[in-house]
Amino acid sequence: MTNLTTPEVTLALEESLARGELGLQVAAYLDGELIVDTAAGLDGPSGDPVTTTTLFNPFSVTKAVTATALHVQASRGLIDYAAPVTAYWPGFGANGKEATTVRDVLSHRAGIPWMPEGITPELQADWDWMIRRIEEMEPETPPGTANCYHALIWGWIAGELVRRTDVQGRDVAAFVREEVLEPLGIDDLYFGLPESEFGRVATLVGGDAPAEAPELLLKGMPRAVYPSARVYNEPLARTTVNPGAGSIGTARSYARLFAMLACHGELDGVRLLPAELVKSFTTPRDDDHEPDRYLGKVNHVSAYGYWLAGTGPTAYPLLGECPEVLHHPGAGGSIGWAELDTGLAVAICHNRMHSGPPPAPADHPFAPVVTAVRRLAAERKGAFS
């Protein structure tokens, strides 16, 4: 069990706990070197201390992993971003979806942002059922015409594209493990958690949808499967392969994935993606400054599936306007990001889920941690400049 920290980072974690966090992990890489890997606080009702080997569900941070898997296929010439989804998945084109492109999917402009009617945790766990329901869907808006975050359904669409373009026909969980995680030396990140690892998972606290939640919010994340302690502390949610919001891992594992991006596609001598492709990930989606229908405001999203820094609702903590940042937040507040200009990659996971509008950056519980980690990275950079 590692505990790589500094006095300033340790104090910052204590400040985060004082601001309301229960248990959290932070890990950071700089130019591919692990410089922070530490934890603080408690594992929910059990009262056990959180350690660096505790597993967390960071919800939509998962999307960065799945998007990376899809980019592996594109880098091999097996996926063309401009091609229609039907070039790889013919059944997807039913009921007015035939013009949807891979880029529409990546950039949350595919026009099918809602989960299927009647969704339950059991049905969500049935991959084939989910794929049939997606094929039957009619677009809410014409494909490629509107920004609308596909909060949960995105994972099954992107994951099926990965599966259908894999020459070995592997499911997305096996593909991610064998073609993304293992090459990068990531051994504590799961798409479908083995029951043998259940004892390591932090218990989530909170996160339920408000009693008066808007109808639009619940169409994308219905109460039955809403990202919350009520649903995701259950064994079924832990074992479900949910490539948009259901991975489970350590902050170190997520930070290592973002470290590959921060190092422009290569980590420890293993090149996963071409450098020029990674550089292109900072390209905004079409009509990026138009409000996102689901999120209710402008939210800067890459044409390649990651989120960009800026003024969006989750451009926190302290990501500001940094143009070279790729990140992805998760429901409840977990986040991971890569700074392509500095080589810094960070992931923060926690178990007390935030609810309501995000706080101002300076007031965010993670803000002290972000400041301390960035200061450490700047000092390390200065020492070698």
Active centre residues (catalytic): 60
As a three-state string, the secondary structure of 156-171 is HHHHHHHHHHCCCCCC
Taking residue 47's Cβ as centre, other Cβ atoms within 10 Å add up to: 7
Nearest to 343 by CA among 278, 289, 283, 263: 263
CB-count exposure of residue 313 (10 Å: 0-12, 13-18, 19+)? middle
Backbone angles phi, psi at 256, to 5 degrees: -70, -40
Listed in sequence order, the DSSP H helices in 202-322 are: 215-220, 229-232, 235-239, 251-262, 275-280
Which residues are registered as beta bridge partners of 28? 36, 346
The string over 25-36, giving b where at least 16 C-beta atoms fall within 10 Å of a residue's C-beta and e elsewhere, is bbbbbbbbebbb
Residue 331 is given by DSSP the state T
